[in-house]
Amino acid sequence: MTSLSIPAEFTLQRKNKFDRSTPLRWIFSHIKPYWLIMTMLVGGAIGNAVLAVVVPILTGDAFNAMLAPKPDTSALLPLAIIIGASQIVRGVLQLGRNFGAELMAQKVERDIRDELYLSLLGKSMTFHNLQPVGDTMARATNDVREVNYMFSPGVNLVVGSFMFILMPLFFGPRYHPSLILTPALFIIIYFVALVRYLKTLSPITDDVRAAFGRMNTHLSESLDGVEIMKGAAQEEAEVDRFVANARKFRDAFVQQGDLEARYIAMLLLGLAYAGGLVHALFLLKQGLINVGEVVGYFGMLQLLGFPTFSSTFAYSQISLGFSSARRILELIQRETRLDQNASGFDADIRGEIEFRNVAFRYPAEGATENALEHISFKVQPGQTVALVGQTGSGKTTLVKLINRIYDVSDGQVLVDGVDVRDWNLASLRSQISIIEQDIFLFSRPIKDNIAFGKPEAEYEEVVAAAQAAQAHEFILNFDETYDTIVGERGATLSGGQRQRVALARAFLTEPRVLILDDSTSAIDSETEDKIQRAIANAARGRTTFIITHRLSQIRWADLIIVLRKGGVAAMGTHDELMQTSEAYSRIFKE
């Protein structure tokens, strides 16, 4: 299965397509574009290992030269020069191997971050509402970094050590054919033990990554809700919860360390040294090899130390990398239930909105009751609709069905007579603007926040939009005016200021459908009249939905829809409903 088959709200195309059928194939598909770098890595590892064998072989030759009946000291200098030159070349090859591994690790990390970020942007709000932010951040940061470490130092050490482990097998028999026995037995037992080790290690590293995700989720929620936590004096309780999560993360790591400590590779290395030396000495006693060859062969066995020492760390790093890759791929593969419908209906919206017997149930696990039920009404282009009702009656949920933040469970929502599911999603949403009560601003200059929906807007257009939203005056009071950077989520602005910046952002994009979700709740009475005129001007010529409890906004609506417990309790104008709807009149009496 390829990336093109994954449902997503928006699929942002990239040059490389990655095989997402399994984590292993996904990793290899990320490596594939960098085969030249991989060739450099493997080539450097082979050259490094082969030249490492030169040292014990020539050292053995030096021993033979000195142990001859007539010691030949003249042979030592050429041998030393060859050893020195070979190790310089080896150093260059090792540099190429390390550089190639690090370069590939960084490139793969970049590609995975890019792929994951694009995937997250393409997910529906259903996905984002159900997926904890802290866990997402853990996967997008720490897990992606673990994949980097899987290549460097992980794969780098594994490839390098694999070449080292083969050298005694290839070069040992040059002294005597039977000297293949010790390295062959070592390799067989080593890889059998390694397979068992990795099989046991895999679920443990999965637990390590999952525990980190849970700890990060709690940390994110605690920092997000720090005001509530402090207001309820629950700091101590939250610290205890965090300590419990941190302890689980620690325990998972301790379990991994315990397994690594019981890995028998070092025992095998000691047995290989002893067995190989005894074997070589036995052949020496039989006169089948000489002292220099014993020294050279034992020096080759010393090369097994590198794969043995590095195996515990390197393979643990690779296992952690694969666990992280599984978590990242699982997040990318998660269904969104909405797709962009790139070939769907694409036209300028006139503003006719119709709900036909709409029902909606949130897709949360265990949800059984409809949030909306039997919703039917029709709005003509250019009309202003006020949605009123008690908290929890479904007002915000209803308007989010228009631009497909959510999809209906039953029935239809039509824009200009076309089911919203048949619209090109980008075309639909680009012409609908929602200003919510909980305003989100980016930690960027005010002008960039206003121009977020239209980044190519001229400075004059930004100022005009701010003036229309009654934001221009307070912006000029800042030292850097429109270049003032607001804090995260707009924390450096008051509630009223954030809402006016959001209004300016909506005015600038000139949407065909404007939705105001209690967006003037934090505006002071002095500014309210100006804002009402600005909204009235903005609503002229476009279909507007207003969710509000302010009678001053409700009165001039063309149509008022009263919601109660997810259903339509009444519809009409203000004067009609005051006389015919007890539910409506009760709102203003309370």
- Phi first, then psi, for residue 170 (nearest 5°) are -85, -40
- 565 dihedral zone (left: phi>0; alpha: psi -120 to 50; beta): left
pLDDT for 181 equals 93
**347 Cβ contact list (under 8 Å, min separation 6):** 416, 427
User: CB of 55 within 8 A of CB of 80?
Assistant: no
Across the range 230-245, mean pLDDT stands at 76
Read off the pLDDT of residues 296-309 as tens digits, 9 standing for 90 and up.
999 999 988 888 88
**Considering the chain, what is the average pLDDT of its residues?**
82
Beta bridge partners of 564: 567
33 against 222, higher pLDDT: 33
pLDDT band at 281 (very low <50, low <70, confident <90, very high): very high
Nearest-angstrom CA–CA distance, 324 and 390:
45
SS3 at position 184 = helix
Q: Tell me the residue ranges of DSSP E strands in 27-115.
A: none
Q: Which of 334, 184, 317 is nearest to 260 (CA)?
A: 317
Q: How far is Cα 356 from Cα 377, in angstroms, rounded to an integer?
A: 7
- 314, 194 contact by CB (below 8 A): no
pLDDT in the model for residue 324? 86
pLDDT of 342 above 80: no
> For the chain, how many residues are written?
590
Please determine, for residue 225, whether its predicted confidence score (pLDDT) is greater than 70.
no
Fold assignment, 353-589: Rossmann fold (3.40.50)
Given a contact cutoff of 8 angstroms between Cβ atoms, the answer to whether 109 and 143 are in contact is no
Non-local (6+) Cβ contacts of 102 within 8 A are 152, 156
**Best CA proximity match to 380, nearest among 399, 418, 354, 352:** 352
pLDDT tens digits for 109-129? 999 988 888 888 777 766 776
Fold of 3-333: ABC transporter transmembrane region fold (1.20.1560)
Q: Check for a shared fold between 3-333 and 353-589.
A: no
Asked whether residue 132 carries a pLDDT value surpassing 80, the answer given is no
pLDDT digits (tens, 9 = 90+) for 579-588: 787 777 776 6
Q: What is the pLDDT of residues 500-517, one digit of tens each?
A: 888 888 888 878 888 887
* pLDDT of 439 over the 80 cut: no
| Cα(133)–Cα(213) distance, integer angstroms | 10
Contact predicate 342/197, CB 8 Å: no
Where are the domains positioned within the chain? 3-333, 353-589
Question: Of 166, 158, 170, which is closest to residue 186 (Cα–Cα)?
Answer: 166
Instruction: Please give the average per-residue pLDDT across 197-207, as a whole number.
Output: 83
- The radius of gyration of the chain from alpha carbons, rounded to an integer in Å, stands at 35
pLDDT tens sequence across 473-498:
888 888 888 888 886 666 677 777 78
Sign of the dihedral defined by the CA atoms of residues 532, 537, 539, 540, in that order: positive
Query: What does the pLDDT read at residue 6?
Result: 42
Contacts of residue 367, defined as CB under 8 A and 6 or more positions apart, other chains included, come to 361
**Helix locations, 225-304, DSSP H:** 226-231, 235-261, 265-285, 291-302
The two tokens of residue 575 are: 């004067």
| Residue-wise DSSP of 107-134 | HHHHHHHHHHHHHHHHS-HHHHHHS-HH
- Burial letters 149-168, b for 16+ CB under 10 A, else e: bbbbbbbbbbbbbbbbbbbb
225-229 average pLDDT score: 66
Helix axes 35-67, 76-122, angle to 10 degrees: 160
Strands (E), 131-241: none
